[in-house]
């Protein structure tokens, strides 16, 4: 082979390498399926889910009910299903707010203090209900994590708060968005302070803590 | 440049063949890139339209955000505005069990060549039922140009 022919082949090979690099770059730059990877879509979707939870009643998702725990009050007369509470007409966010109020957690010196509450089962039942509701609304399009929490009331020796989480992060890859909804608990500041005092024996006002009866509901969506 | 009929000519033909293949691959990559980019832009347009429908066009009067009340008249007016920009719209509202509750606009013909293929976006919404209740459902918006 002549020297010039060899040079010509080398030029062509370099040219081919440049073309394949350009092709690879183009393929890499191209956006993937927007339904799966669009943070904007996920954000809009998460907003819509939170509004939906705020506007629709539990009845629309099969209804919500639980039984009051009457074991620690043996004198309470319970006939048949009279301990059952049916909350079909409350919206899902109203249920969350009620759960937060009825099932506040009390931590004393870093360990959770087990307070016996008649509505304890609501917490667990509501998590199951929320999971099935979110599975139905989101329908496998995204991985999700829904968190509901109140501000931590630090009363010195005791800390009072509420936190609940429902998630399905199976096959979740990257977090696309976080959207938050602020809800008012269905009590006044004074009533909440009185409720906390009942649980802990400490008056939050005397402890110098100003309580905000607000529940923060956060929904994260993850790509799959 | 002097070629000897034999090795050099064979090498030139081989390399020219390889270059042609690479150029075809490049053209294909560019085509795929443009297709995906257009799909992304169309998807964003469909999302804009879906958000506008939920927040303004179909928003229930004096209702909560996220609650819609379907109105053929309002959708017709909005579709006319979009049509002026060459965009076609079909709106469907389905229950989560898949039952069609409301539809507006013609279905795109899947076998017809449009300027841009139909793109759809779905958002969960609460459908205004009566003063005290709302029905959970899914708003599906299909958008195409041409």
Verify that A17 and A89 share a domain, yes or no: no
Task: Give pLDDT, residue A83.
Answer: 73
Residue B3's pLDDT is what?
54
In sign, the C-alpha dihedral spanning A163, A168, A174, A179 is negative
Q: How many domains does chain A have?
A: 2
Cβ atoms within 10 A of the Cβ of B22, count?
19
Q: Is A5's CB within 8 Å of B29's CB?
A: no
Query: What's the CA angle centered on B122, arms B117 and B123, to 5 degrees?
Result: 150
Q: Are A60 and A146 found together in one domain?
A: yes
Residue B67 neighbours by CB under 8 Å, 6+ apart: A51, A55, B59, B60, B125, B126, B127, B128, B134
Which pLDDT score is estimated for A51?
Answer: 94
Instruction: Give B-chain residues touching A35 at CB under 8 angstroms.
Output: 43
- Comparison of pLDDT for B99 and A189, the residue scoring more: B99
CA angle A68, A186, A65 (to 5 degrees): 30
pTM exceeds 0.90 for this model: no
Q: Are residues A153 and A211 in the same domain?
A: yes
Shared-domain flag, residues A72 and A95 = yes
- Residues A65 and A5 reside in one and the same domain: no
> Nearest Cβ partner of B26 from A8, A23, A56?
A23
Give residue A81's pLDDT band: very low, low, confident or very high (50, 70, 90). Answer: low
- In the predicted model, residues of chain B with pLDDT beneath 70 are 1-7, 62-63, 132
Per-residue pLDDT reduced to its tens digit, A110-166:
777 777 777 778 888 999 999 999 999 998 889 999 999 988 877 777 888 888 999
The confidence band for A219, taking pLDDT boundaries of 50, 70 and 90, is very high
**A14 close contact with B: CB closer than 8 A:** no
Give the per-residue pLDDT at B134: 85
Q: With CB atoms and an 8 Å threshold, state whether A8 touches B12.
A: yes
Q: Of A104, A128, A118, which Cα lies nearest the Cα of A187?
A: A104
Interchain proximity A20–B64, CB inside 8 Å: no
For residues A64 and A92, state if they share a domain. Answer: yes
Q: What residues of chain A lie within 8 A of the CB of B49, using their CB?
A: none
Which residue's structure tokens are 């297709």? B35
Residues in chain A with CB shorter than 8 Å from the CB of B11 are 1, 5, 8-9
Q: Clarify whether residues A96 and A129 are in a common domain.
A: yes
Please, what is the average pLDDT of chain A? 83
* pLDDT of amino acid A2: 60
- Tell me the C-alpha distance between A88 and A102, whole Å: 18
Between B15, B36, B66, which is nearest A51 by CB?
A: B66
More confident residue, A208 or A195: A195
Q: Are residues A114 and A148 in the same domain?
A: yes
User: What's the complex ipTM?
Assistant: 0.82
| Percent of all residues in chain A with a pLDDT value above 90, rounded to a whole number | 30
pLDDT of A133: 95
> Ramachandran region of residue B82, left (φ > 0), alpha (ψ -120 to 50) or beta?
alpha
Put simply, the answer to whether A61 touches B136 (Cβ < 8 Å) is yes
Give the domain extent around A6: 1-31
A129 shares its domain with A194: yes
- pLDDT at residue B4 in the model: 60
- Which residues of chain A neighbour B51 with C-beta distances below 8 Å? 44
For residues A19 and A87, membership in a common domain is answered with no
Longest dimension (CA), chain B: 91
Report yes or no: A214 and A183 within 8 Å, Cβ to Cβ.
yes
The model's confidence at residue A43, banded by pLDDT at 50, 70 and 90, is very high
Q: Are the Cβ atoms of B32 and A136 closer than 8 angstroms?
A: no
């Amino acid at each position: 082979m002549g020297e010039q022919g060899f040079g010509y082949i080398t030029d062509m090979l370099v040219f081919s390498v440049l073309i394949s690099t350009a092709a690879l770059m183009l393929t890499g730059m191209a956006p993937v399926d927007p339904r799966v990877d669009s943070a904007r879509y996920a954000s809009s979707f998460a907003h819509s889910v939170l509004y939906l939870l705020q506007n629709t009643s539990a009845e629309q998702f099969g209804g919500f009910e639980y039984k009051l725990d009457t074991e620690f009050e043996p004198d309470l007369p319970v006939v048949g299903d009279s301990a059952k509470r049916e909350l079909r007409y409350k919206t899902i966010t109203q249920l969350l707010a009620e759960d937060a109020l009825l099932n506040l957690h009390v931590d004393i010196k870093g360990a959770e203090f087990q307070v016996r509450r008649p509505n304890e089962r609501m917490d667990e039942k509501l998590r199951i209900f929320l999971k099935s509701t979110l599975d139905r609304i989101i329908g496998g399009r995204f991985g999700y994590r829904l968190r509901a929490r109140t501000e931590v009331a630090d009363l010195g020796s005791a800390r009072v708060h509420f936190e609940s989480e429902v998630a399905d992060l199976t096959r979740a890859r990257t977090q696309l968005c976080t959207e938050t909804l602020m809800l008012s608990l269905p009590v006044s500041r004074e009533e909440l302070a009185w409720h906390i005092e009942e649980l802990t024996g400490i008056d939050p006002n005397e402890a110098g803590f100003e309580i905000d009866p607000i529940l923060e509901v956060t929904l994260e969506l993850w790509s799959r | 440049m002097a070629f000897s009929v034999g090795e050099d000519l064979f090498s030139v033909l081989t390399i020219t063949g390889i270059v042609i293949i690479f150029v075809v691959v490049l053209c294909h990559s560019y085509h795929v890139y443009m297709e995906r980019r257009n799909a992304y832009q169309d998807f964003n347009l469909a999302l804009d339209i879906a958000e506008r429908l939920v927040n303004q066009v179909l928003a229930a009067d004096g209702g909560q955000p996220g609650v819609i009340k379907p109105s053929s008249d309002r959708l017709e007016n909005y579709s006319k505005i979009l049509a002026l920009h060459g965009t076609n719209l079909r709106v469907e509202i389905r229950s989560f069990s898949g039952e069609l509750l409301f539809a507006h606009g013609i279905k795109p013909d899947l076998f017809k060549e449009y300027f841009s293929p139909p793109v759809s976006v779905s958002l969960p919404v609460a459908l205004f039922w009566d003063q005290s209740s709302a029905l959970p459902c899914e708003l599906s918006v299909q958008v195409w140009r041409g």
